[in-house]
Chains A and B, each alone.
Chain A
Amino acid sequence: QSALTQPASVSGSPGQSITISCTGTSSDVGSYNLVSWYQQHPGKAPKLMIYEGNKRPSGVSSRFSGSKSGNTASLTISGLQADDEADYYCCSYARSTTLVFGGGTKLTVL
């Protein structure tokens, strides 16, 4: 199972909005509404930010939102803050009962 495709890096200024894309195939992102997004600060464990495409766990800011179109899922962060600077990973259920991650995107807050 190939990894999902994410941009290596994105950047934005405080207060701005950014979107991170996550492109898969009809065998994963395109066929299931089971995409999740994780935030990871250096040296820390990942944190769930979005699940089932567009749902936020309790405690996650409403500045984080998820969407999907075809084989591509997206994570949008609005009102960028300094603490949003981290690595972000998408993850999708894939056929044959597996999970596949994206390669990760480094978000820099300028």
Chain B
Amino acid sequence: QVQLVQSGAEVKKPGSSVKVSCKASGGTFSNYAISWVRQAPGQGLEWMGGIIPIFGTTNYAQKFQGRVTITADESTSTAYMELSSLRSEDTAVYYCARGGYRYGYGEGYQYHYMDVWGTGTTVTVSS
């Protein structure tokens, strides 16, 4: 049974960057999509973007375009999410999640369910 183990909690200054890792143990993620989802304190879930490691293709939510970079290293079954220009509103728990995708004619890769979730990484942005 695959598990996604994320890196530890981070405390960052406004304007800096954070890079969170997500390592698959007990399996690989090459044939799946890896999404990054965040949850601010007391708030709902927010999809940030994702990557399909076997193709290396990435997709980002419009809100985070230009500020987030998602990468994956298939050799170590590890995905990464880097968020730059941090502000206090970025304080949240960040989750990686493995999920399904399909190819949609004229639309590219369509992400859908997320069936295995990571352990979560708390990122606190404070001066």
User: B residues 34-53 with Cβ under 8 Å of A?
Assistant: 35, 37, 44-47, 50
| Cross-chain contact B47 with A91 (CB below 8 angstroms) | yes
| Cross-chain contact A98 with B61 (CB below 8 angstroms) | yes
| Cross-chain contact A93 with B44 (CB below 8 angstroms) | no
- Which residue of A45, A52, A93, A100 contacts B95 across the interface (Cβ within 8 Å)? A45
| Cross-chain contact B115 with A93 (CB below 8 angstroms) | no
Kindly state whether residue A12 has any CB partner on chain B within 8 Å.
Answer: no
Kindly state whether residue A48 has any CB partner on chain B within 8 Å.
Answer: yes
- Which residue of B107, B113, B114 contacts A52 across the interface (Cβ within 8 Å)? B113
Expressed in whole angstroms, the Cα–Cα distance for A64 and B111 within the complex equals 22
Kindly state whether residue A41 has any CB partner on chain B within 8 Å.
Answer: no
Stretch at the interface among A16-24, A68-76, A77-85, A101-109: A101-109
Q: How many residues of B contact A (CB 8 A)?
A: 26
Residue-wise interface mask of A (87-100) relative to B, using a CB-CB cutoff of 8 A (1 in contact, 0 not): 00101010111111
Measured between beta carbons, the chain B residues less than 8 angstroms from A89 are 44-45
Expressed in whole angstroms, the Cα–Cα distance for A74 and B61 within the complex equals 24
Expressed in whole angstroms, the Cα–Cα distance for A21 and B108 within the complex equals 28
Kindly state whether residue B110 has any CB partner on chain A within 8 Å.
Answer: yes
Q: A36-B114, A51-B100 are known contacts. Are A46 and B109 too (CB-CB below 8 A)?
A: no
Residue-wise interface mask of B (78-107) relative to A, using a CB-CB cutoff of 8 A (1 in contact, 0 not): 000000000000000001010010000001
Measured between beta carbons, the chain B residues less than 8 angstroms from A103 are 44
Measured between beta carbons, the chain B residues less than 8 angstroms from A86 are none
Expressed in whole angstroms, the Cα–Cα distance for A1 and B44 within the complex equals 15
User: A residues 7-55 with Cβ under 8 Å of B?
Assistant: 32, 34, 36, 38, 40, 45-48, 51-52
Measured between beta carbons, the chain B residues less than 8 angstroms from A3 are 44
